Structure 1
Amino acid sequence: MVATTYLDLASEVEIPDNSTISKTLYQDDQLKVVLFGFAAGQELSEHTAAVPAILQFLDGEATVKVGDEKFASQANTFVHMSANLPHSIAASKPTRMLLLLLKKTK
């Protein structure tokens, strides 16, 4: 058995001053894990993912829109989205977010 371990996820990305950064932490045939760092005022405009996805906010604050629902996220906010659901994220403070893309299996 192989394990991938990160003891401090937040330390894996340094939030840039005026942009967004992403770092793939893990990927296989079933799962892709990406850590995002958003500077205050940065956003991911509305888009969809072809597979189900989970957003886990580690710190910061952001406005999240999922389908027709809009809400404020903060540390420990969890969002599960079905495939092809329109969503967007706008950081109001420096924010770190973990994205898990749940790839379809055979």
Structure 2
Amino acid sequence: MAHHSFEHTTHHGSGSGVATLSELVGRSEPRPGRPSAATVVEEDGVKVVAFEFHEGDELHEHAAPHPALIQVVRGSVDFQLPEGPVQLRPGQVLHLTEGLLHAVKALEPTTLSVTLLLH
């Protein structure tokens, strides 16, 4: 299992599996150089995690533990993928297959919604 350098807190869903994108911003406060993560929903095969980054924060190369959908809620990030870099902005979604190596760098203060497909 890869080591990730970020703070993580957990908030379980309400049973309905409903969360608004505005609820994701500010779920946890990153430290400079260290992104933070908070679980927003974890129910029936799906886990949604909000990641908060300061400008310049990075997650070094690691493998996706499950298939995932990455959505930028605010800010922008560079994803380093095997086929090259991809810049994501609000409204864009990136699909990562299980095991795909990638790295992330925030270009400005950023909130990401990461939906892990656990089944």
Please confirm whether the aligned pair reaches a TM-score higher than 0.5, indicating the same fold: yes
Q: Closer, same or farther in 2 for the Cα pair 1:29/1:6, shift >3 Å?
A: closer
Q: Check if 1:80 corresponds to 2:95.
A: yes
Structure 1 unaligned regions, length at least 5 = none
When structure 1 is superposed on structure 2, of 38-47 and 60-69 the one drifting more is 60-69
| Contact 2:25–2:73 under 8 Å retained in 1 | no
Report the identity percentage.
25
Aligned counterparts of 2:86 and 2:26: Cα–Cα separation in 1: 26
**Match of residue 17 from structure 2:** 4
**Alignment map for 1:60-79 (pairs within 5 Å):** 60-79=75-94
Structure 2 unaligned regions, length at least 5 = 1-14
| Contact 1:15–1:39 under 8 Å retained in 2 | no
Q: CA deviation at 1:92?
A: 1.3
**Cα displacement string for residues 39-63 of structure 1 (whole angstroms, at most 9, x for unaligned residues):** 0110111111232111011110111
Size of the aligned set, in residue pairs, is 103
**Match of residue 45 from structure 1:** 60
Aligned counterparts of 1:103 and 1:93: Cα–Cα separation in 2: 30
Aligned counterparts of 2:19 and 2:44: Cα–Cα separation in 1: 20
Q: Specify the code of the residue in structure 1 equivalent to 2:17.
A: T
Q: Closer, same or farther in 2 for the Cα pair 1:34/1:72, shift >3 Å?
A: same
Other structure's SS at 1:9 match: helix
Aligned counterparts of 2:58 and 2:92: Cα–Cα separation in 1: 17
Q: Closer, same or farther in 2 for the Cα pair 1:82/1:5, shift >3 Å?
A: same
Q: CA deviation at 1:29?
A: 4.0
Aligned counterparts of 1:20 and 1:88: Cα–Cα separation in 2: 13
Q: Closer, same or farther in 2 for the Cα pair 1:86/1:29, shift >3 Å?
A: same
**Cα displacement string for residues 56-87 of structure 1 (whole angstroms, at most 9, x for unaligned residues):** 11110111112222121111120011111111
| Contact 2:25–2:50 under 8 Å retained in 1 | no
